Amino acid sequence: MNGNKLNKDYLEHVLANIESSVCVVNLERKIIYVNNLAKHRLYQGREFLNPSMYDIFPDLTIGNSVIERVFATGKPEMNTVCMWTDINKKQRISLISVFPIIDNNEIVAVCEAAEPMDELSSESKEFFYRKFPHINEILKDEFKVRESHYCLSDIIGDGPATQELKRKIILAANSQANLLIYGETGTGKEMIAQSVYSMYKANDTPFIAQNCAAIPESLLESSLFGTVKGSFTGAETRPGLFELANKGVLFLDEINSMPLNLQAKILRPLQEHVVRRVGGLKEIPVNFRLITATNTKPDRLVGEGMIRNDLFYRICVVYLEVPPLRARKDEIPILVKHFVEEFNDMYGKSIVGFDRKSINFFMEY
């Protein structure tokens, strides 16, 4: 057996048995190779001969495909968290890396390697949590990756309170100033933030979201600022959320959960538009719009010392208050109708609606 044959057989053996899902897509967007794990996860026991990637990934479009981006740019994309739907319409979560395959200085195919995060052991999830703290909410099922974002039309209701809220969202979207959103738990603060983003920026700019209460204090700083390899045990060189949000929007939910010492450190990125990674010496320019949210009234934030005065006045240049449902009870019938239709579609039901007695109960609750 010659060296080339040995190398080829060995490579095929390795690819077939590694614990990553590997597939190769050619210029016609046909899947021309899958290893054992990819065949199991993508084909679900069915037989395909070089299927189109758009047949295997039903929700895939040219606009949301990492593979298409790599074909277009020729640059690899590493460690991207992706939520996708398989051919049996089941939701999946994977950590993917996509590489161009080059021949004679031209892209001839693209290779995707994926880690199935929805099937990881608790130990593996903890490893990813430490290695990629900015995606910790995904690993804990507290955050859903979206290819699209909420917009103004997604806010259901036509009562005076909601109409006034929509008017203020439009005003906020026409500003470049930092925005603070106050609303009680469950009022839809992230929906408001995404609605502002959808009007404020084109969809090809980033919207980066982080719940400050959902990540340990010891990791929050490195998540925001990024790290340099060797700055602490296990640290790798990677950008933080400030960099990831460059030219787009950074949304920090539950900002009042951020420790006071860290609040002082984020003043510089807001004022000077530069960031220095943990353990690094280089200052990196960043330009983003900050949207923050809290479920605590602003006067309490400052009065009780939960937020530094100097930070509060920088994040609350524009202010939005989201009315709770009890302040817009007249919209309950519209919301009931909306959710009945949504869940009918989701679960294949044909429920007509609620009777008057049930609606009255909701209204009086």
Answer with the residue of higher pLDDT: 106 or 31.
Answer: 31
Q: Are residues 140 and 242 in the same domain?
A: yes
Same structural domain for residues 110 and 67? Answer: yes
Q: What is the pLDDT of residues 175-224, one digit of tens each?
A: 889 999 999 999 999 999 999 998 865 556 888 898 898 888 778 888 89
Secondary structure (3-state) at 179: strand
Residues 257-274: what's their mean pLDDT?
94
Domain boundary among 119, 145, 174: 119
By mean pLDDT, which of 54-63, 282-291, 330-339 is the weakest?
54-63
Backbone angles phi, psi at 121, to 5 degrees: -70, 165
pLDDT at 132: 54
pLDDT digits (tens, 9 = 90+) for 32-46: 998 888 888 888 878
Residue 14 lies in a domain: yes
Mean pLDDT of the chain: 83
Report the pLDDT averaged over residues 227-233: 77
What pLDDT is recorded for position 25?
94
In this structure, is residue 128 part of a structural domain? no
Residue 127 lies in a domain: no
The pTM score is 0.60
Using only the alpha carbons of the chain, give its radius of gyration. Answer: 24
**pLDDT of 214:** 81
Confidence of residue 146 (pLDDT cuts 50, 70, 90): very low
Per-residue pLDDT tens for 101-139? 988 888 999 999 988 776 555 555 555 555 555 444 444
Domain that holds residue 335: 328-364
pLDDT at 269: 95
Q: What is the CATH number of the domain that holds 39?
A: 3.30.450.20
Same domain, 308 and 333: no
pLDDT class of 328 with cuts at 50, 70, 90: very high
> Residue 357: inside a domain, yes or no?
yes
Helix, strand or coil for residue 227? Answer: strand
Quickly state the pLDDT bin for 145 (edges 50, 70, 90). very low
Q: What is the mean pLDDT of residues 325-353?
A: 90
Q: Which of these ranges, 27-31, 81-85, 350-354, has the smallest mean pLDDT? A: 81-85
Residue 129, in any domain of the structure: no
CA distance 125 to 137: 11
pLDDT of residue 267: 95
Residue 91 has pLDDT above 80, yes or no: no
Of 138-152, 246-260, 347-361, the one with minimum mean pLDDT is 138-152
Tell me, yes or no, whether 124 lies in a domain: no
3-state secondary structure of 23: strand
For residues 227 and 257, membership in a common domain is answered with yes
Tokens linked to 342: 């949504």
- Whichever domain contains 198, its CATH number is 3.40.50.300
pLDDT of 293:
96
- Structural domain includes residue 71: yes
pLDDT band at 14 (very low <50, low <70, confident <90, very high): low
pLDDT the model gives residue 54: 87
> Which residues face 180 on adjacent strands?
292, 319
Same domain, 244 and 97: no
Same domain, 228 and 260: yes
Any idea what DSSP says for residue 143? -
Q: Which residues pair with 179 in a beta bridge?
A: 291, 318
pLDDT on residue 149:
78
Which of 119, 146, 167 is the C-terminal boundary of a domain?
119
3-state helix, strand, coil in the chain (%, to 5): 45, 20, 35
Lowest mean pLDDT among 79-88, 317-326, 348-357: 79-88
Q: Which of 119, 152, 167 is the C-terminal boundary of a domain?
A: 119
Question: Do 108 and 248 have their domain in common?
Answer: no
Number of domains the chain contains? 3
* Residue 281, pLDDT score: 87
Share of the chain above pLDDT 90, in %: 42
Whether residue 333 is predicted with pLDDT greater than 90 in this model: the reply is yes
| 155 and 113 within one domain | no
Tell whether 40 and 70 lie within a shared domain: yes
Same domain, 158 and 79: no
pLDDT for residue 66: 87
- Please tell me whether residues 156 and 180 are part of one structural domain: yes
What 3-state class would DSSP assign to 252? Answer: strand
Give the whole-angstrom CA distance, residue 190 versus residue 250: 11
Q: Is 306 found in the same domain as 180?
A: yes
User: Predicted confidence band at 147 (pLDDT cuts at 50, 70, 90)?
Assistant: very low
Q: Which pLDDT does position 84 carry in this prediction?
A: 79
pLDDT at 60: 80
Residue 126 lies in a domain: no
